Structure formats: C-alpha cells, structure tokens
A and B are shown apart, each in its own frame.
Chain A
Amino acid sequence: MFSEFFQFTFSGITLGAIYALVALGFTLIYNASHVINFAQGEFLMIGGMGTVVLVGAGLPLPAAMVGALVLATVAGILLHRLAIAPARDADVVTLIIITIGASIFLRGLAQFFWGKEYHALPRFSATESLSIGGATLLTQSLWILGIAVVLVVALAVFFSRSKLGKAILATSMNKDAARLAGIKTQVILGVAFGISALLGAAAGLIVTPITFTAYDVGIMLGLKGFVAAAIGGLGSSTGAVVGGLLLGLSEAYTAGYISSDYKDAVPFVIILAILFFLPNGLFGSRAAERV
C-alpha cells in the first residue's frame, strides 16, 4: 500500500523534475522580453543530440557535452541575431510566432544532418536506482532535481545581484527607459537568448539518460515544460520548479490511482483551473498593468 504510494510519488518526481528543468529555460527569455520562446524545446534537443553526435564523432563524453552546450549557446545567439532582432519593432505575439518557425527550422536541420533515430546517453551515477520503502527512485532523477534547485538559486542571484541580470530585468520592464539609462537592449536580449539556450541544452543533456533523445524530442518536452512554467507563473523560477513537480505528480497519481487513459487529461484540467482562478500562475507577479 505505502510502497505503491511511494512508487507513484517517485514516478511523479522523475517526471516533475524533467518538466521543472525545462520550464526554467522559459523564464529567462520571458523575463527579458515577455516572449515565450517556443524554440526552447529545440535547445534541449541540441543539448542531447549534439552530445550524441559528438560522441559518435569520437570525442570523449565530457568534451562532447561541453561541445553541445557551446553549440546550443551559439544557436541561441544566432536565433536572436537572425530572427528576433530584425523584427525588433514587432509586437510580442509576432515574436512568439517567429520562435515557433525557428523551432520547426531547427528540428528540420537536426533531422537532415543528425538523422531520425533515437539515442541514449549513460546515466551520471554508477548506481541506477535507490530502493526506498519498497519503491525505487532513479539516481538520475535526483541529479535532475538537484541541478534544477541549483539553477533556481543561481537565477535568483543572477537577477538580484549581477549587473547583467538587473539589466535584463530593466529591459523587460521598460525598453525605452532602459536604453536611456545606457543599456544596450538588443545586446542584452541576445545574451538572454544565449544563456537560455545554454540552460535548455544543459537540461536536455541531463534528462537524456531517462527520456532518450531524437530530433523531435523537443516538441513534447518543450510543451510540457511550457505548461509547467505557466502553472508556476511565467517568469518565476521557483514557480517553474513547483509547476513542474505539480504536473509530474498529478500525471503519476492519475496513472496510478485512476487510470492511465486519463493521465494526459488531468494535468490539462489543473491548468485550466489554475489559469481560470490565478491567471498569472501560482507564483506569477500580480502587478497591475500600467496604462
């Protein structure tokens, strides 16, 4: 009885940790520009697939990981430079649509150059899983959760302490005022895209031992991550983690206690309920719109 409950909980934590890590990637670009970057899932894919491809090319695993992270960061900066920056005067909705186009483009490139096969990466710890109270938990889930927490703290420090973080926040609050204060807003946005891609690629790398990776893995992970971010409140990194865990746990409990057929429906009901009563999400800012 209890071992069953533990197992469903661990299952939910595994799912939730993945969603949370993906959701974190959305917060940075959203904070900088209020754009929801739908190409975030493709950064994850570049992290996982890039590593696989570089390992295949003969690089040792750690070097391949670093290579994939660099590749994703460059892709993020190029995405801003080539697609977002030229449309700088367009409204936010247009920019969001541009990111959707970019995601399809990146997926196409990966499919063409890297193939369509699924690949796996080895887990980080030697032990595969821990047994607690008759249930098992993957060590990789703990890595994911731990790294998510580290990133939350790092992002909080980055936004409140560093000049760059403050500049990003200033740009999001009022672009014109930020520019008058001497902030190069386009450079700041480019940096935000680069860091966000780096975060995404790191997430993609860490989750690959559990989820596997392929050119289209970003669609599902990106979507679930976005949902987690929306539940938690877009732009809040604590919210992203809580939202991710909430989503993962609700999926696991539904599959475990109700029926696996309804597993995908329940999270959507939760999202509808949360967005209906708390349109800004659980941790979103409730600041009044300036008129």
Chain B
Amino acid sequence: MKTMLKNLAVGAVAALGLASLSPVAKAEDPIRIGSFLSVTGPAAFLGDPELKTLELYVHQLNENGGLLGREVQLVHYDDSGDASKARTFVTRLLRQDKVDLIIGGSTTGATMAAVPVIEQARVPFISLAGAETISTPVKKWVFKMPQSDRQAARRVLTDMKERGLTRIGLISGTGGFGASGRNVTLEEAKAMGIEVVADETYNPKDTDVTAQLTRIRNTDGVQAVLNFDFGQGPAIVTKNYKQLGIELPFYQSHGVASDSFLKLAGDAANDLRLPATALLVADTIPDSDPQHGVVTGYKKAYEDRYNSSVSTFGGYAYDGFQLAVQAIKQAGSTDPAKVRDALESIRGYVGVTGTYNLSAKDHMGLSYDSFRILEVKDGHWTLVE
C-alpha cells in the first residue's frame, strides 16, 4: 500500500487535498484525456497493455479525488493498427470530444498520421511509438515516451566498448525495425570508433541463418556479434548461434526484451546481453536504485488488477499518463499552451522507462543510459552492473 501511494504521489496525493477542500469539484467539467491505441489487430501486443494501464491509472486518480479537483475522463478509440483510422479518430477526439490532451499512437504509422492534425489543432500529444522521426526534428505539440533505436544501439556499443570489444559483426532482419536498427548501429559505431567488420542480413521470415552466422564467425578479428531485429527472427538467430557453437559475446536489441523471447529461444539465450528498461528486472532490481519504487509499484498494480504480466509497452503509457498529470498540475489548468509549456519544462521525472528530462530541444527526454544492460542467466534476466 505504501509503495502504491508513493507511485500515485505524482498527481493524486495533491489532488486529494484539493478535492477535499472543494466539495463542488464534481460539478465542474471533467478533464478529458483523449487516446487512440492499437488495441486489436497486428499491433495489439502494444495497444492492449497501453489501454489497460491508462484505464487503471485514470480510475485510481479519480478514486483519489481526480485532478485539480476535477474528474478525469478517458476518451478512447481503437485504431487497430491502421494509420488512416488513427487520423480519423484523432480528428474526432479534437473536434467532437474536445479533449484537453492526447496520449496514444501505439505504432509509428498511427502517430505520424495523427501529427499533422494535432499540430494544426494545437493540443499536447504524448506518443507511445518508438521511431526517431516522431521527435526529431522537434514538433511543437508532440512528445514521445519510448527511447529510439539509436539509443539502444548506443547502449549496446557502449557496453561492448567497456568490455574492450571494438570489432563486431552485425546481423539484422530486412524488415523495417531491423533495417532501421542496422542503419543507426552503423552510424553510431562509426561515431564511437567501433568497426563493423561483418554486416549480414536475413528475411524476417527465414527459418535458418547458419550460413550468415558462419560468414560472420569466419571474418578475421571479429570480437562480438549484435543481432538487431524483433519478432521470432532473433530467436532463430540465437538458436543457430548456439548450434554453431560460436563463443563470441552475443548481443540482441531491445526489440526482443520480453519473456516470450526467452520462452522461444530456450537454453540458447543463456549468456546473451541486451538493452532493456528496468521494468524487465522489477523483481530483482536493488532497493537503492532510483527506479526501484516506481517499477515495482507499477508491476504490482498492473498484475494485481489484470492477472497478466506487465510489459514495456504498458510502461510507456504509465509514463505518458504520469507526465500528463504532472504537467496539468503544474500548469494549474488545462489550457493547451500552458500544459505544453509545463510538459516541456519537466526535468528529472523518474518513470518506469527511465528518467525523463524534457526540454525545448528534446521532446523525448531519455538518455541512452535509461536502457539497462541485461544478461540472460539460466533462463532469467539479470541486471549487469
């Protein structure tokens, strides 16, 4: 209970005080938070935990007296992963529902389809999708919660450098995620003085990549291997890596930082490292860690309520919602321009994804070291110090 309260503290405790002071609170108009997420369709694994998280915390906020003494209302539409639907729903949120702020866009496609409409309407928008284009260049009304793949690449390369590994092999899928990951890895490696000596690709639906891995293994001087992709491809790469008996340190990207990857890859995943948010090691994170309270609190609240395990994606929704609450509180109203300015001024918010330092130049606010390096030991994630 204590941890739960602590987590709610961001907005709820203060609001509780306000609410008890003003008994007429409920008579005022509710604060309307709009949302469009991919709750069904191919991106449902993103949208489903995101919506559940928003519903959970909106409910809790209202139980504790709402925000600024007003009730918070969540207006939600399911874009089912379809960008053109996302655009329609955002228009409806802005024109018809007249929402004060929008949290949503599970996929980059849905987010980018909504951006022009939102920029025109001048309403703060917190996106839950990952691509760099969402926040680079900075768009006045658009913020985003997840790290970009560039940060993941930099985190992995930093860890390699710390271990003295400077000549690496890269194997990536040819799908959107893998191809973009390959590009940023090559750029970041160049900037950091790491040489990519082997650069192989595979089709995301391939069932065997031993030929590519053999090429990497036989490259002169290769010291470590990075696989950048998501879905089942990396599980096959991991199995093949083990099958070939390659002894070099092996890295995966944040794209497979989930328990389902461990289940697919089985024993072969042991000893590999990858960048992930602290949420994945919520059970073992030390008490002294600044994220300890927020991560364990969110995990417990979510798993108690929904009886299914927490995911990184729901974590983005948690951070987005808490930042929105904090910004509205700080602005003292729902005036869009004031809320936007307040969002932009938030520094040092400790969330489940990392510590956010937003600014006029950075609408994402996380640095690459918000990613933790995890290592798989006996089929479990462990934090590498």
Contacts and interface: CB of A to CB of B under 8 A. Distances in A.
A210 B207 contact: yes
Contact of A252 (B42, B211, B231): B211
Contacts of B243: 128-129, 136, 138
Contacts of B244: 7, 136
A117 B260 contact: yes
Nearest to B210: A11
Contacts of B205: 219-220
Contacts of A116: 42, 44-45
B246 to A, nearest CB: 10
A32 interface: no
A255 B211 contact: yes
A7 B260 contact: no
A129 B263 CA distance: 20
A120 B263 contact: yes
B90 interface: no
A253 B214 CA distance: 11
A7 B44 contact: no
A263 B171 CA distance: 14
A138 B208 CA distance: 11
A4 B218 contact: yes
Nearest to A19: B207
A15 B42 contact: no
Interface in B209-227: 209-212, 214-215, 218
Contact of A212 (B210, B215, B232): B232
A82 to B, nearest CB: 27
Nearest to A214: B232
A11 B232 CA distance: 18
A253 B200 CA distance: 14
A18 B214 contact: no
Nearest to B265: A120
Contacts of A214: 232
A263 B200 CA distance: 11
Interface size grouping (class) on chain B: 20 to 34
B142 interface: no
Nearest to A252: B211
Given A11-B208, A260-B202, A118 B44 contact: no
A116 B38 CA distance: 14
Interface string A226-267: 000000000000000000000000001101100011011000
Nearest to A128: B243
Given A4-B214, A118-B231, A264 B208 contact: no
A10 interface: yes
A256 B263 contact: no
Nearest to B45: A116
A85 to B, nearest CB: 33
B235 interface: yes
A133 B255 CA distance: 35
B20 interface: no
A8 interface: yes
B202 A10 contact: no
A247 to B, nearest CB: 12
Nearest to B174: A261
Interface in B28-56: 42, 44-45
A12 B203 CA distance: 15
Contacts of A280: none
B212 A255 contact: yes
A207 B236 CA distance: 13
Contacts of A255: 200, 202, 209, 211-212, 215
Contact of B266 (A120, A252, A263, A264): A120
B264 interface: yes
Interface in A193-234: 207, 210-212, 214, 219-220
Contacts of A128: 243
Given A120-B263, A120-B266, A261-B201, A212 B235 contact: yes
Nearest to A256: B211
B207 A120 contact: no
Nearest to A138: B243
Contact of B214 (A15, A256, A264): A256
B201 A10 contact: no
A252 B210 CA distance: 8
A244 B131 CA distance: 39
A33 B361 CA distance: 66
A129 B245 CA distance: 10
B203 A263 contact: yes
A260 B211 contact: yes
A14 interface: yes
A13 to B, nearest CB: 10
A254 B44 CA distance: 36
A219 B215 CA distance: 28
B208 A118 contact: no
B210 A260 contact: no
Contact of A7 (B202, B211, B232, B235): B211
Most interface-central of A7, A219, A260 (chain B CB within 10 A): A260
Nearest to A131: B245
Interface in B326-357: none
Contact of A10 (B44, B210, B264): B210
Given A118-B235, A138-B243, A264-B203, A15 B208 contact: yes
CB-based closest 8 A-B pairs: A256-B211, A255-B211, A220-B205, A211-B207, A11-B210, A118-B232, A11-B211, A7-B214
14 contacts: A10-B210, A11-B208, A11-B214, A14-B210, A15-B207, A15-B208, A116-B44, A128-B243, A210-B207, A211-B207, A212-B236, A255-B200, A260-B212, A263-B203
Interface of A: 4, 7-8, 10-12, 14-15, 18, 116-120, 128-129, 136, 138, 207, 210-212, 214, 219-220, 252-253, 255-256, 260-261, 263-264
Interface of B: 42, 44-45, 174, 200-203, 205, 207-212, 214-215, 218, 231-232, 235-236, 243-245, 260, 263-264, 266
Given A116-B44, A214-B232, 11 more contacts: A14-B208, A15-B207, A118-B235, A119-B264, A120-B263, A128-B243, A211-B207, A219-B205, A260-B202, A261-B201, A263-B202
